[in-house]
């Protein structure tokens, strides 16, 4: 399992009703249903990934998150999860508000633009970084709203949301000691648990 | 595989005729004391009787869903999906398709004898509703010894039957597949149906529905009704791509056929008017108009599905303007609200409402993948959802 998914797995309370925004091939929901008796749905727009969800027996609803989540009522879920999709949204701030309207708690993971390799790339080469975490060129990337740990924490503060947990990820795992001591520079990936 | 081999593997059985003597009380207040249903089956029922799939037909359909009968030039209406290795795999599933009550392909309907009068039912055949059909289908399931369907599947009017199965017989259906359908017709939908009915009813050969007594049929009205229907089944893009503004010959500034689309609609309308019954068309379009399961729950569709236990798959098509994707999403949202298991896909297609009958790779894969989890073992699926409202406290 992807390291951010493994961490989320540990954070999910048994029996939770979960909405996974941009659920991809449904791996996380499948594992959460199996190990945590979690129920719920994935939202996804990619037909190929939707097919994999269906093949896994994961409930998936074709819906573009960019068009809003207004069809889902307040507090419909215990937990909303969004892995590696925030940076691809038109309005991540509005998406965050919507997530915390649908559920009291959400878990969000995104690539950390302040990762040292990215800083080095931009600083030394003067060009937008291309890496394993950010594999696209600037002109064809789906990642239109890149941010750093600090940016995201500031957004949460401004909106009055509470950061309950925060973990950071490097190459092979999440929460390595170096990244804990100096998370902004050394973490490729950010994982946040937030409550309203 | 040769044509004959694939027919053998399909294991088409029928058409069969089942007669029922237990009276069927209908929503309109009348009772059918005795009725018959014509059906076909494909594949083999397993020993546990857990692999039965019911396929519900749409407005113009009937029991012949797959394969060929002796002398057929075209296979059944959903042959693309039903067969060995196909999305509804007859190597795994035992598929049943019937002609609904009021139909004109063998089941009791306007062209059957009314035992009370000894004459054809004609226009006196009672108005049918979707729940009436579903009750009669449940009796057919009893007749075949099927307690619980692995899946009930249908498009358009068939999708309305599937929804009704999930609402009225929650413990008899493990999976519900609702395709290109709606939770109720819009005023525009009803308007098109009304124009179609008026076309039939104003045909001089209609004779208030007693046309057989006059040794005639309202072919012209039925043809017009089908032409109107056909326009709503296609998308503007599909019609444009297929026919454009192509002329059959030079313009002759008259009302004969000049454009290809005119020729096509007349041809389709003619074919239909020769093979379908006008009274059946009238009552089927009324059944469409009446369909509104939420009416019994103050319009609350989520409450309507409260007792459903099955897993749902809702499918819409991007260019369908008769029952738009938004109508399918209403069903999805109600099911999410009601805490039911549901998946939804919107298939990109240029073919309008008709897309649900046409081949499409994604459509077939979606059905196949969803059905890979469908079996009707009694405890199947009950572990995952339906925890009631215990999340509401959060």
Cα→Cα distances A112→A121, A184, B223, B253, Å: 14, 8, 64, 69
The whole-number pLDDT of residue B5 equals 65
Residues of B in contact with A104 (CB under 8 A): 394
Cα distance between residue B138 and residue B142, in whole Å: 6
Token pair of B362 as six digits:
């994604």
H-run or E-run covering A44: strand A39-44
Residues of A in contact with B394 (CB under 8 A): 75, 78, 103-104
Q: Is B91 annotated as a binding residue?
A: no
CB–CB contact B343 A63 (8 Å): no
CB–CB contact A54 B346 (8 Å): no
The whole-number pLDDT of residue B378 equals 47
The whole-number pLDDT of residue B393 equals 32
Is pLDDT of A172 > 60? no
The whole-number pLDDT of residue A6 equals 79
Chain B residues touching chain A at CB-CB below 8 Å: 311, 313, 329, 332-333, 336-337, 339, 341-346, 348, 362, 365-366, 369-370, 372-373, 384-385, 387, 391-392, 394
Residues of A in contact with B385 (CB under 8 A): 39
Nearest CA distance, B163 vs chain A (angstrom): 18
Nearest CA distance, A165 vs chain B (angstrom): 19
All structural domains of chain B, each given as residue ranges with its CATH number in brackets, are 3-185+289-393 (3.40.50.1820), 189-288 (1.10.1740.110)
Cα→Cα distances B220→B102, B199, B277, Å: 21, 8, 12
The whole-number pLDDT of residue B381 equals 44
pLDDT in tens, A183-192: 565 567 788 8
- In the annotation, is B360 catalytic? no
Segment-wise mean pLDDT, segments of 10 residues, chain B, 394 residues: 69 95 97 97 96 96 94 94 96 97 96 94 97 98 97 98 98 98 97 97 97 95 95 90 85 84 92 94 97 97 98 97 97 96 97 95 97 68 40 33
CB–CB contact A17 B391 (8 Å): yes
CB–CB contact A76 B336 (8 Å): yes
> What was the ipTM of the complex prediction?
0.89
* Averaged pLDDT, A132-147: 80
Contact between B167 and B131 (Cβ < 8 Å): no
The whole-number pLDDT of residue B376 equals 53
Token pair of B110 as six digits:
């306007």
Cα distance between residue B309 and residue B234, in whole Å: 34
Q: Write down the pTM of the prediction.
A: 0.91
**Shortest CA distance to B35 belongs to which of B101, B126, B103, B98?**
B101
The whole-number pLDDT of residue B388 equals 37
pLDDT in tens, A50-83: 999 999 999 999 999 888 898 899 999 999 999 8
Query: Which entry of B277, B320, B380, B381 is annotated as an active-site residue?
Result: B320
Is pLDDT of A175 > 80? no
Q: Which residue has the higher pLDDT, B253 or A181?
A: B253
| 3-state DSSP of chain B | CCHHHHHHHHCCEEEEEEEECCCEECCCCCEECCEEEEEEEECCCCCCCCCEEEEECCCCCCCCCCCCCCCCCCCCCCCCCEECCCCEECCCCEEEEECCCCCCCCCCCCCCECCCCCCECHHHCCCCCHHHHHHHHHHHHHHCCCCCECEEEEECHHHHHHHHHHHHCHHHECEEEEECCCCCCCHHHHHHHHHHHHHHHCCCCCHHHCCCCCCCCCHHHHHHHHHHHHHHHCCHHHHHHHHCCCECCCCCCCCCCCEHHHHHHHHHHHHHHHHCCHHHHHHHHHHHHHCCHHHHHCCCHHHHCCCCCCEEEEEEECCCCCCCHHHHHHHHHHHHHCCCCEEEEEECCCCHHHHHHCCCHHHHHHHHHHHCCCCCCCCCCCCCCCCCCCCCCC
**Shortest CA distance to B306 belongs to which of B162, B166, B177?**
B166
Residue among A33, A53, A62 minimizing CB distance to B384: A33
Is pLDDT of A47 > 80? yes
Query: Which entry of B97, B136, B156, B308 is annotated as an active-site residue?
Result: B156
Is pLDDT of A158 > 50? yes
Q: Is B354 annotated as a binding residue?
A: yes
The whole-number pLDDT of residue A167 equals 80
The whole-number pLDDT of residue A169 equals 63
- In the annotation, is B72 catalytic? no
Q: Please name the residues between 43 and 82 in chain A that touch chain B, using a CB distance below 8 Å.
A: 47, 50-51, 53-55, 57, 59-63, 71-73, 75-78
The whole-number pLDDT of residue B2 equals 54
CB–CB contact B345 A55 (8 Å): no
- In the annotation, is B380 catalytic? no
3-class SS of residue A64: coil
């Amino acid at each position: 399992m992807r390291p951010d998914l493994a961490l989320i797995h540990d954070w999910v309370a048994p029996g939770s009703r979960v909405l996974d925004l941009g659920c991809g091939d449904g791996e996380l929901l499948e594992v959460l249903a199996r190990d945590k008796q979690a129920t719920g749905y994935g939202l996804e727009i990619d037909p190929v990934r939707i097919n994999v969800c269906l093949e896994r027996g994961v409930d998936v609803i074709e819906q573009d998150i960019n068009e809003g989540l207004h069809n889902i009522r307040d507090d419909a879920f215990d937990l909303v999860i969004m892995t590696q999709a925030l940076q691809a949204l038109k309005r991540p701030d509005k998406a965050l508000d919507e997530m915390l309207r649908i559920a009291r708690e959400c878990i969000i993971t995104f690539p950390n633009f302040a990762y040292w390799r990215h800083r080095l790339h931009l600083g030394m080469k003067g060009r937008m970084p291309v890496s394993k975490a950010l594999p696209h060129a600037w002109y064809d990337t789906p990642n239109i709203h890149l941010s750093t740990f600090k940016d995201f924490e500031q957004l949460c503060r401004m909106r009055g949301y509470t950061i309950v947990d925060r973990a950071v990820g490097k190459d092979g795992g999440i929460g390595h000691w170096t990244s804990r001591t100096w998370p902004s520079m050394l973490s490729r990936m950010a994982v946040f648990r937030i409550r309203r | 595989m040769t044509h004959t081999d694939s027919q053998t593997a399909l294991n088409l059985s029928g058409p069969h005729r089942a007669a029922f003597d237990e009276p069927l009380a209908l929503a309109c207040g009348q009772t059918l004391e005795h009725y018959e249903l014509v059906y076909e089956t494909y594949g083999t029922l397993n020993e546990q009787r857990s692999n039965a799939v019911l396929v519900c037909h749409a407005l113009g359909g009937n029991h012949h869903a797959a394969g060929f009968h002796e002398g057929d030039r075209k296979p059944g209406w959903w042959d693309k999906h039903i067969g060995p290795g196909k999305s509804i795999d007859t190597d795994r599933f035992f598929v049943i398709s019937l002609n609904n009550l009021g139909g004109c392909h063998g089941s009791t309907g306007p062209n059957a004898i009314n035992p009370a009068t000894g004459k054809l039912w004609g226009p006196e055949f009672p108005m049918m509703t979707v729940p009436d059909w579903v009750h009669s289908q449940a009796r057919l399931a009893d007749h075949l010894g099927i307690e619980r369907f692995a899946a009930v599947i249908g498009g358009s009017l068939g999708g309305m039957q599937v929804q009704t199965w999930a609402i009225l017989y929650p413990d008899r259906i493990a999976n519900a597949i609702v395709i290109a359908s709606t939770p109720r017709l819009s005023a525009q939908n009803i308007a098109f149906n009304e124009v179609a009915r008026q076309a039939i009813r104003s045909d001089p050969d209609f004779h208030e529905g007693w046309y057989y007594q006059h040794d005639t049929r309202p072919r012209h009205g039925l043809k017009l009704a089908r032409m109107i229907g056909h326009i709503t089944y296609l998308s503007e893009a599909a019609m444009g791509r297929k026919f454009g503004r192509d002329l059959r010959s030079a313009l002759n500034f008259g009302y004969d056929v000049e454009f290809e689309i005119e020729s096509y609609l007349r041809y389709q309308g003619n074919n239909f008017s020769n093979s379908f019954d006008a009274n059946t068309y009238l009552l089927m379009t009324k059944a469409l108009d009446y369909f509104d399961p939420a009416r019994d729950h103050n319009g609350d569709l989520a409450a309507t599905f409260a007792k459903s236990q099955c897993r749902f798959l809702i499918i819409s098509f991007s260019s369908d303007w008769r029952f738009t994707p938004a109508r399918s999403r209403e069903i999805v949202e109600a099911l999410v609200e009601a805490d039911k298991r549901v998946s939804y896909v919107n298939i990109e297609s240029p073919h309008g409402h008709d897309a649900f009958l046409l081949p499409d790779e994604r459509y077939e894969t979606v059905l196949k993948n969803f059905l890979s989890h469908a079996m009707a073992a009694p405890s199947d699926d009950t572990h995952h959802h339906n925890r009631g409202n215990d999340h509401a406290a959060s």
